Amino acid sequence: MSTLNKDIETVAALKETYGSAWNAINPEYAARMRAQNKFKTGLDIAKYTAAIMRKDMERYDNDSSQYTQSLGCWHGFIGQQKLISIKKHFNSTDRKYLYLSGWMVAALRSEFGPLPDQSMHEKTSVASLIEELYTFLRQADARELGGLFREVDAARKAGDSAAEAAAQEKIDNHITHVVPIIADIDAGFGNAEATYLMAKQMIEAGACCIQIENQVSDEKQCGHQDGKVTVPHEDFLAKIRAVRYAFLELGVDDGVIVARTDSLGAGLTKQIAVTNKPGDLGDQYNSFLDCEEVSPADMKNGDVVLNRDGKLLRPKRLPSNLFQFRAGTGEDRCVLDCITSLQNGADLLWIETEKPHVGQIGGMVNRIREVIPNAKLVYNNSPSFNWTLNFRQQVFDAWAEEGKDLSAYNRDNLMSVEYDESELSAEADRRIQSFQADAAREAGIFHHLITLPTYHTAALSTDNLAKEYFGEQGMLGYVAGVQRKEIRQGIACVKHQNMAGSDMGDDHKEYFAGEAALKAAGEDNTMNQFG
């Protein structure tokens, strides 16, 4: 028996229990409303999606071609349209996630207006966006099911039992738009207690996976900008534990933690780590500091010195009061960060690199896997990379090593349109196309995401529309550039009233008021032009 039929029976039994006061309640209508509201709370969503993500992680461990993907979404509507599109094109949401970018929350969702990615936005705006995304995805479920319920009613009215059975089968096997989200908590928005409180809010909103980075919270920078400052390992591990305790307190026992290290591009620290004995984590962290050996006579007022192997070492301190790491230590620090995080509660890694290079990423992952064999990454296929130039240069360098004639190319100018139809550019595009599969296979990347794609698509599509509509094309700029494409591509929101819930509202009016319902979907509704 389907869940829908079970709910019909349940409500029918309630009618018997409560008697004539319930005579006006239609058990099938109530069951339909229950089906359209499968997930009652954010915790329901977090538990459901955590199980999906854990299953996907296990599947990837057995077969690296089974990697997962997501796109960053800065509004519930964007996330909703993404999942509607995925279902339309692939008839499945398998291994397709949502990503919530702290950068986009700062740039687009703060009450202060656009902000840089420095954790200056309101803490609660992150959890609010998670809740908004899932509100829109749940509405997508309700809208789609509502259409199927109307198909059932129409088939019954026409006496077409085969059409009714076909629509009912779609209802019984409905694929939800609700998928896992990887949500960015930045550097934790304060101390470990602040991280715990923020993590709880995010989980209660529906997050099954939280990504946290090892930067100093009040010095936080975008991973692709300069001036990043890391914290000693014990400080970061305390925040990882805080997130895990938040998951456990709320009953999401299989919640996922992504530990992000920015050490590859971060040359500064605010603190000298506490160390109790040679070789402990604090000592390892301090060993990367840029120091000079001094004697007591060399010491100046206010100097900080370290005692290592009987020698006095003075770390280089900048005018900003920050300490500097030795040049060239980024990869070693990054590998140590990753191993330490996985040994202390993290499930996945995020290594922020300066370019998308499978060899570089794979080299670090291989070192990590010498200690943690099943280590795997979430990787940012970032719009901060110039993908075209990076990959054309990678091909240029590879061909140079092979001794190929490159006299037709200028390596420093490979972004030029004059190379777009060249053999080199074709090979670069082939490598970009296969980058995710190659990196999943060769560099341990379980999840590929693009942090800011919908930020860029919104800007690009708006620029195209503004250029045409306010120019010579006038209204044709909208009709040819937007609406005609929506119709021909089957974009659901061409019926914007339906997408906003008008038809669901009509259904409810009928449930509540019967024949007296004043419905919007009559013959004079202009949306009928898109039937």
Question: Is 222 one of the catalytic residues?
Answer: yes
User: What gap in Å lies between CA 526 and CA 504, rounded to an integer?
Assistant: 17
Helix, strand, coil content of the chain in percent (nearest 5): 55, 10, 35
Task: Tell me phi and psi for residue 504, to 5 degrees.
Answer: -65, -40
- Whether residue 40 contacts residue 33, with contact meaning beta carbons closer than 8 Å, is answered with no
In the set 222, 291, 334, 338, the catalytic residue is 222
Q: How many CA atoms lie within 13 A of 389 on its CB side?
A: 11
Residue 122 CB contacts under 8 Å (≥ 6 apart), including other chains: 110, 111
375: helix, strand or coil: coil
Per this entry, what is the length of the chain? 531
328: helix, strand or coil: coil
User: What gap in Å lies between CA 227 and CA 215, rounded to an integer?
Assistant: 10
Going by their DSSP bridges, the two strands 348-351 and 229-230 should be labelled as: unpaired
| CA-to-CA dists, residue 83 to 79, 337, 420, 496, 512, angstroms | 6, 34, 32, 17, 31
**Four-residue CA torsion sign, 336, 339, 345, 348:** positive
Buried/exposed code over 364-402 (b: 16+ C-beta within 10 A; e: otherwise): bbebbbeeeeebbbbbbbbbebebbbbbbbbbbeebeee
Residues serving a catalytic function are 222
